[in-house]
Amino acid sequence: MKATKALGYCIIVLLVVTIILLAVSLYTLFMVLSGALSEGTLNADMEFDEASGTFYLTMTGNPRNNGLLGVNINFQVAILTLEGEYVAQNSTKVYIAPGGQDAFSVSLTVPAEVLIEHNMLEGQGFMEIKFGVSTLGDLVSFTNTMRVGGGGAEE
C-alpha cells in the first residue's frame, strides 16, 4: 500500500513539474516572439545589379530573449518560381541565452542565368521567409512561414 501511495505522489509531482515547464516555455516563446516582431529587429536589403543581372538579398536580425529559458532561433530565406520550385535558399540558426541578444544574417545571391532560366527577370516568383523559435531542448517550438509574391504571383 505504501508503494502505491508513493507512486501516486511521484505522478502528481511529475505532472506539476510538467505544467510549470510548459508555462515557463510558453512565456519564453511569447517574450522572444514579441521582441522579434518589434520595429527595427528584422531588416531586409534587396538589390538588383543591372550590369550583371544578379539579384542580392540580405536579411539581418538582432532579436532579444527576455524569457526565462534559452532559445534557438531558425531563420530561412528562399526564392521560388511561380510553380513553387526553389531557386535559391539559405538559413541560419542562433542560440540566445535568457536575457541575451544576438545578431544573425542570411544572404542569397541569384545569378542572372538562373533568373533567365526560370523567367524571373520581371520579378515573377515568391520570396519565402521561415522563422522558428524553440526552447526546452527543442521540445516546445513555434514556426511561421510567410510567402511574399512578386509580379505575376497569385498566392
Q: What pLDDT, in 10s, does the model give residues 95-154?
A: 999 999 999 999 999 888 888 887 777 777 888 999 999 999 899 999 999 998 876 545
Higher pLDDT pick, 64 / 115: 64
In a domain, 145, yes or no: yes
CA atoms of 116 and 93, how far apart (whole Å): 31
Structural domain containing residue 68:
2-149
| Residue 155 is assigned to a structural domain of this protein | no
- Indicate whether 54 pLDDT > 70: yes
- Look at residue 67 and tell me if it is in a domain: yes
Is 109 a domain residue? yes
Beta bridge partners of 80: 86, 126
| CATH assignment of the domain containing 34 | 2.60.40.10
For residue 55 the three cell numbers come to: 539579384
The mean per-residue pLDDT over the stretch 81-96 comes to 92
pLDDT for 140 equals 93
Identify whether 24 is part of a domain. Answer: yes
At 40 the pLDDT is 73
pLDDT single digits (tens) 3-46: 899 999 999 999 999 999 999 999 999 999 888 767 678 888 98
In a domain, 154, yes or no: no
Structural domain includes residue 81: yes
Confidence of residue 92 (pLDDT cuts 50, 70, 90): very high
Supply the pLDDT for residue 20.
96
Residue 105 CA to residue 112 CA, distance in Å, equals 23
Mean pLDDT of 53-69: 91
Domain annotation covers residue 6: yes
Predicted local distance difference test score (pLDDT) of residue 119: 77
What pLDDT score does 154 carry?
54
**Total number of domains in the chain:** 1
Query: What does the pLDDT read at residue 89?
Result: 95
- CA 36 to chain CA mean position, Å: 10
Q: Give the model's pLDDT for residue 151.
A: 63
What b-and-e string marks burial along 1-26, b requiring 16 or more CB atoms within 10 Å of the CB? eeeeeeeeeeeeeeeeeeeeeeebbe
Task: Give 139: exposed, middle or buried? Use CB within 10 Å, 0-12, 13-18, 19+.
Answer: exposed
Cα–Cα dist 133/33, whole Å? 8
